[in-house]
Amino acid sequence: MLETREMSTDAESERCNQLTGGFLIMAEKELSAFIRAVDKLFGAEQARQSALDWIEELGRMDWRSGESTPDWRRASVGASARLGALSRPHRHVSEEIRSMSAIASTSIEETIDAETKNAPTSGRLFFLNLSAGRVMSANPDGSDLKTIINEGRKLPDGLALDLAAGHIYWTNMGDPKRNDGSIMRSDLNGKNMITIVPPGGTFTPKQLQLEKRSGKLYWSDREGMRVMRANLDGSEIETLVDTSLGDSRPGSDPTKWCVGIAVDTDGGKFYWTQKGGHHTGLGRICRANIQLPQGQSASNRADVELLYDNLPEPIDLDLDPIHRMLYWTDRGDPPRGNTVNRAPMDAEAENRKEPEILFSHLMEGIGLALDLKGGRMFITDFGGSVYSANLDGSNRRTLLFAEGNLTGIAYAEVSSVDRGEASRVTAVPEETNTEDNTLVKSSFSATIHAPIEDVDIPTWCFGLSESEYQACSPAHVSAGATTAPDGRRMSINVEVLGGSPMVQHYVEEIAEPHHLRLFSSSDIFTPTGRIKVDVIWDLSVKKIDGNSCEFTNEVHSSFTPELLDSLAKQAIPREVFQSARRPISEAHNRQETPLFAKSIERHALRNRSSARVASAA
């Protein structure tokens, strides 16, 4: 019989038990999207509570007759509504939830095309991780992922390449409320990084384009409410378009925020997006002449053309000048938002048709880069994925996922010399050895402020209450204890990592007061089915001094034949899955370790107090 540790008679816990079965059919990314959105706006503690609210809302849902899976978006809407009493509005949470839930309704088989045997493999992708402040690089199929630059949280957004000179350029948004945006440059391998437009030269620089013929960089300045350009060395900064209409900077009106930028050199035009507000449908795409009309200024130029309006939230742009087509991402509300769109560049106003949606179900679509020679496009979204597709939207593939908040992307055909330079970068730290089937191995430590003599890890672990377990991470859902068929103790833990519910069946292998080693053949529930991962959980303490000790929490997960078979059926390369899983697992371990240490500390101090009482008696 399962020992329930304070959960057998509690109605709320009973509801969690009932819903554990529901995890089998939940879409992988819906709950993850909701937790991430709440965490971003309200913090980890509220994210944990909102995750429980989400589960409760799912339990209250009236599943319709004949519906094999629930419309889990109703649970997200219900749970997000509970945030209304908090100090910040929850409309941004709802927006992100809608963006992510659209992806959740699409199976992995639909988003990953395994029949791409003839896809070109030359060239190189460069893209930005806004949340981590990194410049990343990978092959066009998502392999050989590397970190070129790890600059920290300066919010990189736009990216441009100059292969002839061997340079990468990118924008740093900085603090949108301050005039501290900047533009950086480095070699293709990340070396020789310099600032070419210093903080204060632009407010919030967004998408960046390099126009080689004139030797100019073009970018949109969001809160600056303008389109700007400068020489490749950052000199001669000028404003081409000022959309502020006299408003002070930083601007607060999203309809005046310039975000995307593209340059049609032969046509003598540049294009930009103005995103509009959330849920307003006031996004616009405009263009103007590269050459400013004589006698006019950036704020009163008369050659500005409005091409498309009433768009959800258009973001980045790219052009196909041969076929005269304009492409853009839109991070607004579905069905027209969270998409890649295209429309003619030169259609007369009276003949303009509705833009064509090529690619949908993005998780806040941001970056866009066209490979015109290869007939394909590459897209990033704020949910952490990199995608590719043909220019007509067919042959959709997911190249990378769970890579953080991704923004700008660029593609280039790289010569063998340049490819060598691009590959000599700082690789993402490897924790794995594929020869021994390791998936992720991570270890973190924290201090326990209690004498080591009072620490008993097995007693703590197998007596851990559900509420105490939940307090150690927002990803922790439920906990219990039982015994294996051979009589050894077993800890059963339910948690959600990367949107996938996991059930751990940890059986003791070593059980000493200062060292507990457990093994689990863990179940992961995904939209494509139930898979197994082997996990070793190793907990230990060592003495620091008479009143403290160091706690180490090591988690080692391994591929199983079942998991490898599942990945093969979905055409997901082992290395891609491994690269995506690693940051999720490491972040979770890093988060829970100090909280586990505090829990063990409380347990140890209670033991000491109980011993003193017993001695006094």
Instruction: Report domain extents, the chain.
Output: 12-105, 128-423, 434-616
Return the number of other C-beta atoms located less than 10 Å from residue 293's C-beta: 12
Task: Report pLDDT for 360.
Answer: 93
Strands (E), 395-499: 397-400, 406-412, 438-448, 476-483, 489-497
> Would you state the pLDDT for residue 264?
95
CA–centroid distance for 207 within its chain: 19
Architecture of domain 434-616: 2-Layer Sandwich (3.30)
Buried b (16+ CB within 10 A) or exposed e, 113-134: beeeeeeeeebbbbbbbbbbbb
d(CA 300, CA 421): 45
Instruction: Give the whole-angstrom CA distance, residue 601 versus residue 454.
Output: 9
Name the nearest CA neighbour of 588 among 424, 477, 513.
477
The pTM score is 0.54
What is d(CA 183, CA 197) in angstroms, rounded to the nearest whole number? Answer: 5
Domain 128-423 has CATH 2.120.10.30: yes
Determine contact, residues 84/546, Cβ cutoff 8 Å. Answer: no
Say how far apart CA 226 and CA 13 lie, in whole Å: 54
SS (H, E, C) 76-117: HHHHHHHHHHCCCCCHHHHHHHHHHHHHHCCCHHHHCCCCCC
* CA proximity to 259, closest of 241, 247, 246: 241
pLDDT digits (tens, 9 = 90+) for 269-304: 999 999 998 888 999 999 999 999 999 999 999 999
Q: Return the pLDDT at 329.
A: 97
- Which residues is 289 bridged to in the sheet? 269
Residue 127 to residue 132: CA distance in whole angstroms: 12
Give me the pLDDT at residue 177, please: 85
Task: Quote the pLDDT of residue 98.
Answer: 44
Element (H, E) at 575: helix 574-616
Residue 540 in 3-state DSSP? strand
Q: Which among 507, 508, 506, 467 is positioned nearest to 599, based on CA atoms?
A: 467
Instruction: Collect the ranges in the chain with pLDDT lower than 70.
Output: 1-42, 55-122, 152-153, 415-436, 527, 609-617
